């Protein structure tokens, strides 16, 4: 099936099903019992497992003039020391291959330069420190601000051009009654997922199996096969459970390729698990950005000019850039527009996608700039956004598939008590705390990719769903089971879901908020085929038949599905494709964030007091998993606003806080009352489920709501994320205006 046309009535529209219900995750019991097998936990994979440990470069740029492995090779238990000098042949570096130890060239600090394999992990780790490289180091460039002048126009990203223009931006901005021209910066960020990257590689003749932590197995299969010069049908990847990814596991990383190469050389399984500091340097991170926002408006708040320029960086030879200005292209109306992205080449580890690439950092800047414009106009921030609500996509000039941003803002304002907000900054006090409210809009793209799935119906009436889709903690097992259950009229306990295996029909995997729409549509199509097959066997009309209670019913007749499939069972395949729906309609999910913060008048400490997100994302497939995703994303946004900062040592190109002790993310004590609400919506142009992407929506704009609340609390506008207390203190004047304000401030208003 494809989404060339809107979807009409479907079996999922019938009342009484399990779609939308807050069902517990079906994989929950396995996970809390420790019975869900993650990549590094597989036993009895075929032969005695050996253990690998990476050796990393301790310079950021240059080359290795020599590497001495003699001591390591003689160390107890060591089976192999692999370097660029003895690594097996691999395919060349391309967009679909990831060769390792390919040369003596060093591109970034922490780059893998050797792999030591031994009988035990401890032996491999000890021997790794005996490898002695000699370097011919070169000066590196590690600062985006310094490298910005040499930034270039990047190549298009997934069909999206780096620059866009409409009307006469410069002229309209120059003639605007009220303008804002501000620059925001965001730091590098790390994914900091719980499960580190890990792979167990096993060869059986010329067949390779990788038990690995990967979000997108179909793409991973292509990368592994092309890197190792193998046919795809000789490679199998399994990622049945992934302990978080946030984008760090979208690509095949060095653990998979190096484990496969070593296992081939040794003819025995090799397990390679990255340490936490290795994860920070060897895998990917979110690049820092510099973003300039220029907004021009009439005196009544109607915007006439929007300009958003963003600079980001990557390793030499890497094309990825942060699409920070893309959301600006469609969120607000203005006849004169300009967006631009520039990519600087720095000698740092590889930058790539991290949760909500583009929007997550882009809205940190745009939504704060919108509030600055509201202050300049003396307008309520929500009123400013509503007056600039577009009736069609402002740049593509096509209709929205559905758009409920304004209802999200209005409902959120009502639930949060926005009308009680004091518009004068630094005017509300609660003891030694200055209190403020802030809000922001949220937008996240709603993509869909081609996917396949299979449904098997057994003689006992149990349906099994199979697809290479992954579950990275988001609830894929559960929602795909709910789709199949309602399509076939089965109770949820009569549906089994099998994921994370390239032996199953290919799905794009988890990423980009496309997982549920893509894999879910394929499951829907497979179930539609199964319904037709069952109707044929029952000699009933599939278009009028009702599937309920494990039966098919029509014209007063009823037959059980188990009886219809017989002892051999029945198999149905499905495939789904977005068609031209994304060309005909502008498709995004929307929301509005509201935050209340307190800022200590003595220390500048910022504390989140409460937070609300109101969202629309088409049909909600599972109310519980959707809420969890939204709250998780909002927590991510709080971290981006207040604490997350992957600190670069700009002398050596290293990440100084490359561990979970010093790379700060929000913990329980940082997150008080957070609530997420979804407004009812169906989008018949998005997917056959009429749902939209939701996984990354919660982070989009969340940090800006916190930052805007800090301004409302203090009157200090901080444009350099994260908003740490030193920046608050620096913003307070030496003449003790805070104390002057606090002596005349009203008490905190109820609610």
Report the catalytic residues.
Answer: 696
Residue 128's nearest CA partner among 86, 85, 79 is 79
Residue 22 CB neighbour total at 10 angstroms: 12
497, 477 Cβ separation under 8 angstroms = yes
464, 456 Cβ separation under 8 angstroms = yes
Give 23: exposed, middle or buried? Use CB within 10 Å, 0-12, 13-18, 19+. Answer: buried
DSSP 493: G
Residue 419 CB neighbour total at 10 angstroms: 9
Element (H, E) at 345: strand 336-345
What the block records as the tokens of 92 is: 């060349």
488, 464 Cβ separation under 8 angstroms = no
Separation between Cα atoms, residue 20 and residue 492, nearest integer Å = 13
What the block records as the tokens of 711 is: 């301004």
Measure the CA dihedral 230/231/236/239, to 10°: 80
Separation between Cα atoms, residue 44 and residue 340, nearest integer Å = 53
Strands (E), 446-556: 451-457, 463-466, 495-498, 546-548, 551-554
What the block records as the tokens of 358 is: 């583009």
How far CA 551 is from CA of 21, 58, 559, in Å, comes to 22, 65, 5
510, 245 Cβ separation under 8 angstroms = yes
**What DSSP line would sit under 246-306, residue for residue?**
TTTTSS--HHHHHHHHHHHHHTS-EEEE--HHHHHHHS-BBPPEEEEEEEEE-TTS-EEEE
Residue 346 CB neighbour total at 10 angstroms: 28
Is the torsion defined by CA of 72, 75, 76, 80 positive or negative? positive
* Residue bearing tokens 């549920």: 516
Separation between Cα atoms, residue 112 and residue 129, nearest integer Å = 13
- Looking at the DSSP bridge assignments, the partners of residue 392 are none
591, 614 Cβ separation under 8 angstroms = yes
Q: Say which residues have a Cβ less than 8 Å from residue 668's Cβ, sequence separation at least 6.
A: none
What the block records as the tokens of 427 is: 């005017």
Separation between Cα atoms, residue 710 and residue 717, nearest integer Å = 8
């Amino acid at each position: 099936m494809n989404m060339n046309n809107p979807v009409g009535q479907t079996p999922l529209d019938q009342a009484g099903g399990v779609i939308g219900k807050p069902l517990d995750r079906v994989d929950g019991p396995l996970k809390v019992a420790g019975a869900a097998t993650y990549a590094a936990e597989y036993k009895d994979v075929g032969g005695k497992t050996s253990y690998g440990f990476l050796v990393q470069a301790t310079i950021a740029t240059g080359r290795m003039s020599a590497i001495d492995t003699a001591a390591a090779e003689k160390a107890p238990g060591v089976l192999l020391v692999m370097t660029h000098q003895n690594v097996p042949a691999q395919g060349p570096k391309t967009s679909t291959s990831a060769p390792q130890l390919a040369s003596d060239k060093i591109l970034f600090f922490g780059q893998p330069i050797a792999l030591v394999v031994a009988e035990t992990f401890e032996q491999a780790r000890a021997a790794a420190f005996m490898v002695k490289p000699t370097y011919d180091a070169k000066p590196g460039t590690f600062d985006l601000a310094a490298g910005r002048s040499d930034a270039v126009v990047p190549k298009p990203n997934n069909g999206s051009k780096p620059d866009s223009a409409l009307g006469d931006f410069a002229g309209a901005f120059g003639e605007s009654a009220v303008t804002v021209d501000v620059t925001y910066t965001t730091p590098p960020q790390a994914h900091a997922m719980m499960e580190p990257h890990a792979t167990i590689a096993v060869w059986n003749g010329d067949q390779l199996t990788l038990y690995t932590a990967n979000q997108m197995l179909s793409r991973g299969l292509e990368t592994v096969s092309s890197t190792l010069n193998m046919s795809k049908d000789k490679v199998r990847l399994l990622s049945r459970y992934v302990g978080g990814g946030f984008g760090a596991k979208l690509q095949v990383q060095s653990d998979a390729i190096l484990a496969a190469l070593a296992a081939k050389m040794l003819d025995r399984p090799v397990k390679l698990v990255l340490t936490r500091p290795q994860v920070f340097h060897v895998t990917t991170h979110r690049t820092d950005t510099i973003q300039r926002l220029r907004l021009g408006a009439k005196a009544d708040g109607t915007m006439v000019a929007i300009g958003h320029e963003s600079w980001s960086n990557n390793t030499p030879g890497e094309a990825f850039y942060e699409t920070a200005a893309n959301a600006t292209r469609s969120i607000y109306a203005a006849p004169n527009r300009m967006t631009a992205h520039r990519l600087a080449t720095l000698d740092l580890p590889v930058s790539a996608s991290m949760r909500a690439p583009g929007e997550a950092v882009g809205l940190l800047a745009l939504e704060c700039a919108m509030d600055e414009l509201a202050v300049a106009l003396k307008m309520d921030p929500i009123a400013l956004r509503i007056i600039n609500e577009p009736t069609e996509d402002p740049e593509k000039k096509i209709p929205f598939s559905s758009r409920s941003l304004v209802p999200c803002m209005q409902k959120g304002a009502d639930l949060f008590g926005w009308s009680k907000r004091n518009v004068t900054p630094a005017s509300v006090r609660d003891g030694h705390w200055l209190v403020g409210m802030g809000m922001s809009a949220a937008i996240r793209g709603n993509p869909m990719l081609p996917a396949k799935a299979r449904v098997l119906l057994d003689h006992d009436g149990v349906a099994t769903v199979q697809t290479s889709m992954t579950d990275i903690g988001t609830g894929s097992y559960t929602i795909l089971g709910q789709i199949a259950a309602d399509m076939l009229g089965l109770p949820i306990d009569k549906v089994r879901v099998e994921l994370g295996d390239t032996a199953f029909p290919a799905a794009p995997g988890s990423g980009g908020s496309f997982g549920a729409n893509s894999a879910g549509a394929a499951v829907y199509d497979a179930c539609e085929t199964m319904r037709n097959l069952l109707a044929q066997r029952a000699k009933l009309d599939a278009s009028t038949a009702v599937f309920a209670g494990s039966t098919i019913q029509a014209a007063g007749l009823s037959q059980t599905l188990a009886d219809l499939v017989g002892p051999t069972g029945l198999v149905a395949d499905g495939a789904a494709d977005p068609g031209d729906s994304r060309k005909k309609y502008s498709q995004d999910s929307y929301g509005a964030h509201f935050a209340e913060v307190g800022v200590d008048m003595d220390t500048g400490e910022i504390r989140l007091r409460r937070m609300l997100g109101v969202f629309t994302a088409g049909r909600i497939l599972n109310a519980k998993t959707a809420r969890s995703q939204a709250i998780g994303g909002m927590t991510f946004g709080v971290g981006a606003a207040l604490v997350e900062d992957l600190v670069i040592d700009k002398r050596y190109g290293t990440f100084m806080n490359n561990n979970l002790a010093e790379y700060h993310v929000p913990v329980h004590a940082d997150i008080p009352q957070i609530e997420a609400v979804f407004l009812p919506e169906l989008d018949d142009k998005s997917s056959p489920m009429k749902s939209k992407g939701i996984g990354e929506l919660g982070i989009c704009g969340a940090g800006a709501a916190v930052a805007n609340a800090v301004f409302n609390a203090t009157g200090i506008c901080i444009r350099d994320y994260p908003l740490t207390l030193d920046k608050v203190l620096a913003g307070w004047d030496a003449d003790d205006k805070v104390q002057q304000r606090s002596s005349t401030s009203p008490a905190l208003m109820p609610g």
